[in-house]
Structure 1
Amino acid sequence: MKYIAGALVAACGLVCSGLTAAAQETYSYSLVQNDEEIGYLKVIEDGASTSVEYYMDDNGRGPKHTEQIIMGPHNVPLEWSIVGKSLMGGDVEESFKLSDGVAIWNSQADQGHADVQGDVLYAVNDGSPWANYVYAKALLADADHRLPVIPTGEMKLEKVEDVTLAADGKKAVLSVYRLSGIDLAPTLIALDEEGKFFSQFSEASVVVKDGYVALANSLMELARELQTQRYKDLAQQLRHTYDAPYAIVNVHILDPRTAGISAPSTILVKDERIEAIEPYQPGKTYPDDVTVFNGAGGTIMPGMWDMHSHASLSSGLYYIAAGVTSTRDMGNNNEFLQQLMKDLDDGTLIGPRITPAGFIEGRSPYSARYGIVVASEQEALDAVDWYAERGYTFIKIYNSMNPAWVPAMAKKSHGRGMRVIGHVPAFTNANAMIRAGYDEITHINQLMLGWLLTPDEDTRTPLRLTGMARAAGLDLDSDKVQETLTLMQENNVGIDPTAVILERLMMSRAGETPPGDVDYLDHMPISYQRYRKRTFVTLEDEAADKAYRDSFQVLMDTLQRMYDAGIVILPGTDDGTGFTVHRELELYRIAGIPAEDVLRIGVLQPAEYLGYGDDLGTIEAGKYADFVLLPSNPLETFNVIKTPRMVVKNGDVYFPEEIYQALSIEPFASKPDEIKGASH
């Protein structure tokens, strides 16, 4: 990428405080991910009125809706309506109106009214990227670039830099801004020389003005540079390192192999390893250069795992704050992931250890845009080689893969020492893929759909979710179910259930806090709180609602059957916040798996499965210092896994309290006291 800092932008069009008659203007944008166009944004501005059409089709998913916006003085919207479908097809019908000092709104998440004085922005719940441009215009018109938000909160806009981007004969002079305050992470947007919306961009995807798609990779690279610098700065602020050994005193140690809890103990850490574990001795003195933390009788357990992540620059902090010290990446931009892993390994960024799976997708109108997309069996085999040559130990197969190519892919993968995991491709079933060489099934619905659908039904579409409503009447003692479970036992095939995501998609209801989010959601920024209170599926009537609820219970019963059958369960979330790791494990408890086995599944089983058992998974002298300090014993009160006080990864110390404060999240627990001199 070539970009030149210092270009000046005339932004006078953004700071006008009144409205004047204007000719109709039309704008078109493309959505780009991994060099593939996955949707569009079309906008018509006609004076104070704006019409927006937003369409995304990413692997059969994506919002599809229209918006109508009426602008008022100071570029503040007076009316805003959104109608269409959300990510997985849930109905969207959102409205906002500001009149005579009263704001009234209605969304999937909430409805309400508020008296308003001065300029205020409504935070849309199901908006398009154009919404962020609307916010930017209003914030630029404000003297300090900050405005209060309805329903609550504050939004701010910061100028990052002026840049010139050039690629393939295309050139754009842009001003880059960072929009923040109401969501989990800031959003980057770029305005052109006339102050018009040019792009919303991240390290993984881009919305860019039509005619400039050639700049998509340049924009993503710019996002990586800008976001990396932000997270580098946070890493310097939030990571605590010690030249001399440090001690954590007065703690109990959980052994996930035996479910044993030790007597009060002291852990000594030197560099990245546990140096020693010794009985706790109140009043013991330590050398002046040894830092001592008071564990206050809490429990230390090994760091948790997420065996189904899609790593980003922002996800690392959330994982560490949640006590998740290791992950498996299940699909990403390959170049980005390799750089991210390097930055994590050398300490540039904060985040968990990453074991990558090589994502391979078949080319179709529904293709996901991660990893490598292939159009022939030979291309698929070449992709296997590409990943093997770079040290990957898994390949992950996705929805649009031709099932006929899987046996050859599995044979080559196994020959190169790689496991084969993934979705069940469309127009086949789990039984066939196990026989073709699968070592692990990704998502429990991918397994169950083989019991619910006919062979000609297409799971590249949202049917892979909506079809789960048919599980309500499924007999788990039926021959077809038992055949699959037996095949998994006989072939030692594991399952990455991601039950938490199925719960979220099947059980979320508009206006309600989802059951998996109850314990943390009110600590989060307001837009994320509202985003979670939505319906992902179409519910025509009470019978449809009941079908999803009953079907989710069958899913939970299936999970229990798999545990009883001795099938290896690998806890994954398909999310990046860390909170869902806690809920995934909690769902295993709700399904009936004993707490001691859930904790073993959460901290030890992935380490052994991946071949890291000599260094990770238990608290022992000589192993890596990857562990979590909890306020009490999770075997007695399981939910304490949600409130870590201190997290250690590779010997570096992190305090979730500090991380959450830096991320505008209300902390869940305080950090332990640091003792000077003798232990107490």
Structure 2
Amino acid sequence: MKNFIIANFLFFLFSSSPLFSQTYLISNVNIVTMESDEVLHNQSILVDDGKIIKIVPASESLDYEGNQVVDGNGSFVYPGLAEFHSHIPVAQNGNTQLQEEAMWLYLANGVLRVRGMIGHASHLPLKARIDSGELDGPRLFLSGPSFSGTSVSSVEQAEKMVRDEKAAGYDHLKLHPGLEMDEFLAIAKTAKELDIPFGGHVSLNVGLEASLKNGYKSIEHMDGYIEAMIPDYSKVLDPKLAGPFTMLLVKEADLTKLPALVDLTLETKAWIAPTLTLFDRYFGSKPADEYRNIPEMKYMSAEQVQNWINAKTPYEESGVLTAENVQPYLEFRNMLFMTLHKANVPVLMTSDSPQVFNVPGFSIHHEIELMSEAGMSNYEILKSGSVNPAKYFDEEGEWGVIKTGASADFVLVSENPLQNLNTLQKPFMVVMKGKIYDRNEIQKQLDRIEGNHKRD
């Protein structure tokens, strides 16, 4: 309770201060810096103009004459989490409500950086509003509209699409299935010329090997690995035989091919985005309707939840999502995930929200639970959501760590997350670019969003 009082006091203290210009000191905190797995105990953090100015032991004197000081009462500070595979909502006819709600749902769960992976023109002004301080939200990195079998019609059009997205200001390119090899090679060549990263699904007519060798930076959903291990590729090309994401062929995968695929992934410096929770919920055996009333669904519209149920139901009705099919598939994905991770293939924290029962922010905690169950350590899980995303965009040290000179983006929780990941589910203070959001403000926003989607 004392921690909550401290957070409330801080929010009151700075509620009238200009954005990005607050100077304040948080003392008596334990810092999970993410520069290593060591915790700095009983520290003070000085913040000014959205930056961490200094970190010193609380017992040492600090050259700070201001009166904006609070005792952190032994809480733990860490750099926050990432959602690096998000489907940011689209502004419909200029209505940005769902976008703004999603940004608050991320902040409320300590998610401070988001990579959008299915782009739309309305995402660019959203990012600009957040960057300027007009709108509250996490740090955004945007992919443009996706390249797929339906959006790409020729090599020339594919090249132009890459140039247009780069010129528009997108940070990344997203590739979906259905691309032909010549189209893919044109996208890859142009993207490398313009120095814009690209990644996504692996098109069946391209394959994992060609995707990696031609510059895929991130393999979303660990797509393409199972397909690359199926001896008879003609089965992969038959959706009735393969099922969604080749689920029905997983028992035919030739594991002797996996070491070479891991080596190629390392050689080409590609990253993986596992999205374990998407597969657990969308392609798991739990009936779709049972997700309708789980707690976080109250922050989504009834129409959205029904759309998700409608998306999963056909797989259930066709008999694909039986426990007999699902369990070996999910176990195989866990094995693949940990094999890649143990080989030092870098991992990005991703949950594919909002997408089929994965509510923004909340779904990251489901992803964390599944990463832990698969065998990943707490430190490496936190690293996938902090240090790694910054490295991915070549901004290592600028954010994703708690150190002098880094952006003041961090979260306060009651326990050490290196020992208890559950503490991440209830941040009582979030700091984004130096701006403070206490638990009362977070709950106020959650209540407002819930009220926007009241069920009849």
Scaled to the shorter chain, the TM-score interval is 0.7 to 0.9
Residue 621 (1) aligns with residue 408 (2): no
- Please give the per-residue CA displacement for 1:633-669, whole angstroms capped at 9, x wherever unaligned: 01111121111111111111112442333332899xx
Residue 246 (1) aligns with residue 33 (2): no
Aligned equivalent of 2:67, options 266, 287, 290: 290
Whichever structure has more strand as a proportion of its residues is: 1
Alignment of 1:297-376 (within 5 A): 297-312=74-89, 313=99, 314-334=101-121, 336-364=122-150, 373-376=151-154
Taking the aligned partners of 1:631 and 1:550, their CA distance within structure 2 comes to 37
- Larger mean Cα displacement after TM superposition, 502-511 or 555-564: 502-511
Secondary structure at the aligned position of 1:359 is classed as coil
Matched letter for residue 548 of structure 1:
V
- Describe the shift of the 1:377–1:285 C-alpha distance in structure 2 as closer, same or farther (beyond 3 A): closer
Q: Is the 8 A contact 2:23 2:47 kept in 1?
A: yes
Residue 429 (1) aligns with residue 212 (2): no
- Describe the shift of the 1:244–1:388 C-alpha distance in structure 2 as closer, same or farther (beyond 3 A): closer
Corresponding residue of 2:280 = 503
- Please give the per-residue CA displacement for 1:17-39, whole angstroms capped at 9, x wherever unaligned: xxxxxxxxxxxxxxxxxxxxxxx
Q: Is the 8 A contact 1:393 1:417 kept in 2?
A: no
Taking the aligned partners of 2:373 and 2:254, their CA distance within structure 1 comes to 18
Alignment of 1:245-644 (within 5 A): 245-281=23-59, 290-312=67-89, 313=99, 314-334=101-121, 336-364=122-150, 373-452=151-230, 454-455=233-234, 457=236, 465=244, 467-471=246-250, 473=251, 477-479=255-257, 481-507=258-284, 509-510=286-287, 521=296, 527=302, 536=313, 537-538=315-316, 544-576=322-354, 577-644=360-427
Taking the aligned partners of 2:36 and 2:118, their CA distance within structure 1 comes to 34
- Describe the shift of the 1:462–1:281 C-alpha distance in structure 2 as closer, same or farther (beyond 3 A): farther
Q: Is the 8 A contact 1:506 1:549 kept in 2?
A: no
Matched letter for residue 489 of structure 1:
L
- Please give the per-residue CA displacement for 1:135-154, whole angstroms capped at 9, x wherever unaligned: xxxxxxxxxxxxxxxxxxxx
Matched letter for residue 306 of structure 1:
E
Among all aligned residue pairs of Structure 1 and Structure 2, give the percentage whose two residues are the same amino acid: 24
- Please give the per-residue CA displacement for 1:364-402, whole angstroms capped at 9, x wherever unaligned: 3xxxxxxxx331110100111112224444222111322
Q: Which of these two proteins has the greater Rg computed from alpha carbons?
A: 1
- Please give the per-residue CA displacement for 1:290-316, whole angstroms capped at 9, x wherever unaligned: 333442211100121111112231211
Deviation at 1:428, TM superposition (A): 3.7
Aligned residues: 415
| Backbone CA RMSD of aligned residues | 3.4
Matched letter for residue 28 of structure 2:
N
Taking the aligned partners of 1:528 and 1:506, their CA distance within structure 2 comes to 20
Secondary structure at the aligned position of 1:374 is classed as coil
TM-score calculated relative to the size of structure 1: 0.55
Matched letter for residue 278 of structure 1:
V
Q: Is the 8 A contact 2:299 2:446 kept in 1?
A: no
- Describe the shift of the 1:322–1:591 C-alpha distance in structure 2 as closer, same or farther (beyond 3 A): same
Whichever structure has more helix as a proportion of its residues is: 2
- Please give the per-residue CA displacement for 1:396-433, whole angstroms capped at 9, x wherever unaligned: 21113223221222122112212221111243421232
Deviation at 1:575, TM superposition (A): 0.2
Secondary structure at the aligned position of 2:78 is classed as strand
Secondary structure at the aligned position of 2:145 is classed as strand
- Larger mean Cα displacement after TM superposition, 411-420 or 299-308: 411-420
Matched letter for residue 566 of structure 1:
N
Taking the aligned partners of 2:154 and 2:371, their CA distance within structure 1 comes to 39
Secondary structure at the aligned position of 2:190 is classed as helix
Taking the aligned partners of 1:241 and 1:583, their CA distance within structure 2 comes to 35
Q: Is the 8 A contact 1:363 1:374 kept in 2?
A: yes
Higher RCO (C-alpha 8 Å, min separation 6)? 2
Matched letter for residue 346 of structure 2:
V
Secondary structure at the aligned position of 1:263 is classed as strand
TM-score calculated relative to the size of structure 2: 0.81
- Describe the shift of the 1:240–1:381 C-alpha distance in structure 2 as closer, same or farther (beyond 3 A): farther
